[in-house]
C-alpha cells in the first residue's frame, strides 16, 4: 500500500509576539512613570557636549 506523506504545515512562532508584548508593556510602564516628558525635554535641547562641541 502506498503511503501518502502529509504536507508540512508551517508553525506560527509565538516568541516574537511574547517579546513584542513584553516590550510594549515595558514602554507602557515608562509612560505611566512620565518618562516621555523627560525624553522630550532632552530631545528638544541641543546637548553640545554630546556632539563634541564645548
Partner 1 sequence: MDFVRKWVQGLFFLITNGYWNFPVSRGIYQGPLKVICSPGLNCYSCPAATSYCPLGALQQLMGGIRLALENGQIYVGFYVIGAMGAIGSFVGRMICGWACPFGLFQELLHKIPSPTFTIWRPLRFLKYGFLLFMVVLLPLFAVDSFGFGQTWFCKYICPAGTLEAGLPLLILQPALRESLGLLFLNKLAILIFFTAWSVVASRPFCRTTCPLGAFYALFNKVKLVKLRLDTQRCTNCEACHDVCPMGVHFNESPDDMECITCLACSKACKVNAISLEIGGLPISNQSPYRTPQAQSE
Report the distance separating Cα 26 and Cα 4, nearest Å: 48
**In the complex, minimum distance from the CB of residue 1 to partner 1, in angstroms, rounded to a whole number:** 17
Calculate the alpha carbon distances from 12 to 9, 16, 23 in Å: 10, 10, 20
Q: Which is nearer to partner 1, 1 or 49 (CB)?
A: 49
Q: Which is nearer to partner 1, 1 or 34 (CB)?
A: 34
Does the protein bind partner 1 through residue 12 (CB under 8 A)? Answer: yes
Does the protein bind partner 1 through residue 15 (CB under 8 A)? Answer: yes
Q: Read off the C-alpha cell for 48.
A: 553640545
Amino acid at each position: 500500500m502506498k503511503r501518502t506523506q502529509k504536507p508540512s504545515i508551517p508553525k506560527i512562532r509565538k516568541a516574537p509576539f511574547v517579546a513584542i508584548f513584553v516590550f510594549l508593556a515595558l514602554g507602557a510602564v515608562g509612560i505611566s512613570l512620565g518618562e516621555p516628558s523627560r525624553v522630550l525635554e532632552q530631545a528638544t535641547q541641543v546637548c553640545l557636549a554630546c556632539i563634541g562641541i564645548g
